[in-house]
Structure formats: structure tokens, C-alpha cells
Amino acid sequence: MTNIANTTTILKAVSIAAAGLLALACMTAHAQTPRFKPLIESEMTEAQLKAAREIASGPRGRLNPDGPNALFLRSPDLMSRTQKVGEYLRYNSSLPLRLNEFAILITARQWNAQVEWIAHHPLALKAGLDPAVAADLAQGKRPAAMKDDETIIYQFCKELHETKTVGDATFKAVLDKFGERGVIDLVALTGYYTMLAMVLNVAQQALPGGVAPPLAVLSK
């Protein structure tokens, strides 16, 4: 009995160790070395300082060191211009906030954009998106519990990402529900957050706080 108990204890210990090594291997596989070093204020140019202050005085209130604007700051004139577009799309879009954030999550999922997902997942839930919808999306599935307006947004965004355009029926569904301004706002939102996802992915931006990647990388 003692030998059996000892063997069981050893097997449990081996299993725990193996699980730990597997988890470490997974984390290592996802780990990437950031390609840009953090910007230090004392090393910034006047143009960079001005652009950073503009961000701090806007709705965001600060420059997030883990976000895309910290990367765009390498090109401060570009950052100042794109930030104004982002400010409109985040805070003044004609689309309801829940749908706006849902479209951003669709884009993040499409691009395996971990930082973008981490930033906008809680915002989407706070705005009223069903957690089950977000969970399905994170797994690369067509969400099963979407509301009618979410289905319209999902179909439009998926077609746009995957076919580079949308079909007549898909276009009409968004047009009828949200008008011409809504169509353009949705296209611009998709394009803007695609750009941010590209910047974050190319930069290999580290995940904030060392959290595990929330998205499995989906093959194309």
C-alpha cells in the first residue's frame, strides 16, 4: 500500500510538473520581443512631446504606453492626425457604442491583435455586448447569440475583411438600419482598427501586465 501511495504521489507530482512545463512552453511560444524600446520623455523631440500632450488633454486623458499611440509617436505628425480620426470613431461615431466595440473586436480577432482585444473586450461588455458573443468570437466562431443588429454588423465586417468588399444584401442591411453615415462610419472604423492592429503586430507590442494572450492565433 505504501509503495502504491508513493507511486501515486510521484505520478501526481510528475503530472503537475508536466502541466507547468506545458504552460511555460505555451507562454514562451506566444512571447515576442518588442521591436521598439519604450519612449522616455527626456529623450523625446519637441514634436513628440507636443503630440503626447495633445493625447493627454483629450478624452483618453493620457498616453497609454502599451497602446498603439505610443508606437505612432515615432511619427508624431502622423499620430496627431490619426488620433483625431480615432477620437471621432471611438467617441462620436453614429453607431451605438455596443456595436462600435463589437466591430473593433471583430477586427482584433481577424488580425490576431492581442493588445487590441485586451483593450476593447471589457469596453464591449460594459457597453452591453453579451459575454457569450465575445467568447465565441474569441474562438473564431460565428457567435450564436447575436442580436439582430449585431448580426448585421458581424456580417458586414466579416465580408469586408475576407472579401475586401460587401455584397448588395449586406450593404443594404447596414444602410437600412444605420443610414449612409452609419455605412461610412463602420467602414472607417474597420479600416482604422485594422491599421492599429497592423502597427501593434509589426511592433510585437508586449501584452500589458504580462497577461496571457487572450486569442489563439487562427490560421488564415
The CATH architecture to which 41-210 belongs is Up-down Bundle (1.20)
CA–CA dist 185, 44 (Å, integer): 34
Reported as half-sphere exposure (CB side, CA atoms, 13 A), residue 193 has a value of 31
User: Could you report the per-residue pLDDT of 84-115, keeping only the tens digit for each?
Assistant: 899 999 999 999 999 999 999 999 999 999 99
Q: Decide if pLDDT at 17 tops 80.
A: no
* DSSP 8-state code for residue 62: S
Q: Which residues contact 164 (CB under 8 A, 6 or more apart)?
A: none
**pLDDT of 2 strictly over 80:** no
Contact 108, 213 (CB under 8 A): no
Which of 60-69, 98-107, 114-123, 173-182 is predicted with the least confidence, judged by mean pLDDT?
A: 60-69
Its pTM surpasses 0.75: yes
